[in-house]
């Protein structure tokens, strides 16, 4: 919406994280396999790259920004996500006995889900509190009466051609609302640095694997 992409084009950009993080996780897996190290790559690569990607999105999430910059940020976030997903699970497994692996992975998944739910709630609150006021602020006087209809219907939002005053106002309202969400996300990610610092720095290459058939 912000950059005037079609639904198909927007889906391609939206799937950069899913595809990129999964492919990059293979690279991180090979790195850990040969070095046995997972904490430092999270602390000095994974978390900083996430903060960089989201921080740059604050500046680039505007209607007049080239979509290439958005794609670049999504690639950064995909690479950092592929790093952190693998290393955070490895951190909890390496620090526990084998019989507790399923328990700690379940707890890790639960806290990830709770964190995601909190983040979604905060994002929804920011969106509902900023998008409609932004429409009233950016829409031309002739379109002010349609603000509520535009707010609640994606079809109405896409009905005006790109380049018209109404469509530009809608894109600007989207971008400004998302900017506030990105600011909140970037600020809260500072806590991730403290969280990774608390991980035990275990070299998994020297750990002995449990023998036998494991179900």
Asked whether residue 208 is assigned to any structural domain, the reply reads no
Number of structural domains found in the chain: 1
Asked whether residue 123 is assigned to any structural domain, the reply reads yes
Is residue 159 very low, low, confident or very high in pLDDT (cuts 50, 70, 90)? confident
Asked whether residue 22 is assigned to any structural domain, the reply reads yes
Domain that holds residue 48: 7-201
DSSP 105-174: HHHHHHHHHHHHHHHHHHHHHHHHHHHHHHHHHHS-GGGGGGHHHHHH-HHHHHHSPTTSHHHHHHHHHH
Radius of gyration of the CA atoms of the chain, in A: 21
The widest CA-to-CA distance across the chain, in whole angstroms, is 73
What CATH number does residue 188 fall under? Answer: 1.20.1250.20
In this prediction, residue 156 carries a pLDDT of 85
Q: Report the Cα 96 to chain-centroid distance in Å.
A: 29
Of the listed ranges 1-5, 96-100, 171-175, the one predicted with least confidence: 1-5
Average pLDDT, the chain: 89
**How far is CA 192 from each of CA 44, 46, 50, 188, rounded to the nearest angstrom?**
12, 10, 10, 8
Asked whether residue 29 is assigned to any structural domain, the reply reads yes
In this prediction, residue 62 carries a pLDDT of 79
Is residue 210 very low, low, confident or very high in pLDDT (cuts 50, 70, 90)? low
Model confidence at 100: pLDDT above 80: yes
CA distance 92 to 96: 7
In this prediction, residue 213 carries a pLDDT of 56
Asked whether residue 125 is assigned to any structural domain, the reply reads yes
Is residue 134 very low, low, confident or very high in pLDDT (cuts 50, 70, 90)? very high
> Residue 10 has which token pair?
């927007």
Asked whether residue 108 is assigned to any structural domain, the reply reads yes
Model confidence at 29: pLDDT above 60: yes
In this prediction, residue 212 carries a pLDDT of 57
CA distance 43 to 51: 12
Asked whether residue 206 is assigned to any structural domain, the reply reads no
> Residue 140 has which token pair?
């031309």
> Residue 186 has which token pair?
């970037």
CA distance 173 to 133: 8
In this prediction, residue 211 carries a pLDDT of 63
Model confidence at 132: pLDDT above 70: yes
**How far is CA 205 from each of CA 66, 85, 194, 198, rounded to the nearest angstrom?**
44, 19, 25, 20
Asked whether residue 174 is assigned to any structural domain, the reply reads yes
| DSSP tag of 5 | -
Neighbours of 30 (CB within 10 A): 10
């Amino acid at each position: 919406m912000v950059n005037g992409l079609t639904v198909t084009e927007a889906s391609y950009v939206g799937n950069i994280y899913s595809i990129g993080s999964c492919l990059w996780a293979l690279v991180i897996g090979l790195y850990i396999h040969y070095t046995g190290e997972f904490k430092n790559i999270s602390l000095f690569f994974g978390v900083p790259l996430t903060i960089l990607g989201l921080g740059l999105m604050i500046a680039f999430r505007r209607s007049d920004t080239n979509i290439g910059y958005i794609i670049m940020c999504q690639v950064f976030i995909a690479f950092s996500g592929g790093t952190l997903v693998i290393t955070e699970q490895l951190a909890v497994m390496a620090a526990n006995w084998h019989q507790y692996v399923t328990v700690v992975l379940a707890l890790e998944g639960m806290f990830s889900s709770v964190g995601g739910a909190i983040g979604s709630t905060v994002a929804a609150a920011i969106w509902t509190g900023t998008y409609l006021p932004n429409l009233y602020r950016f829409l031309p006087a002739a379109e002010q009466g349609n603000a509520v209809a535009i707010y609640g219907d994606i079809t109405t939002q896409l009905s005006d051609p790109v380049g018209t005053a109404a469509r530009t106002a809608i894109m600007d309202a989207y971008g400004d609302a998302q900017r506030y969400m990105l600011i909140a996300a970037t600020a809260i990610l500072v806590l991730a640095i403290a969280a990774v610092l608390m991980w035990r720095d275990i070299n998994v290459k020297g750990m002995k694997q449990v023998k036998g058939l494991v179900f």
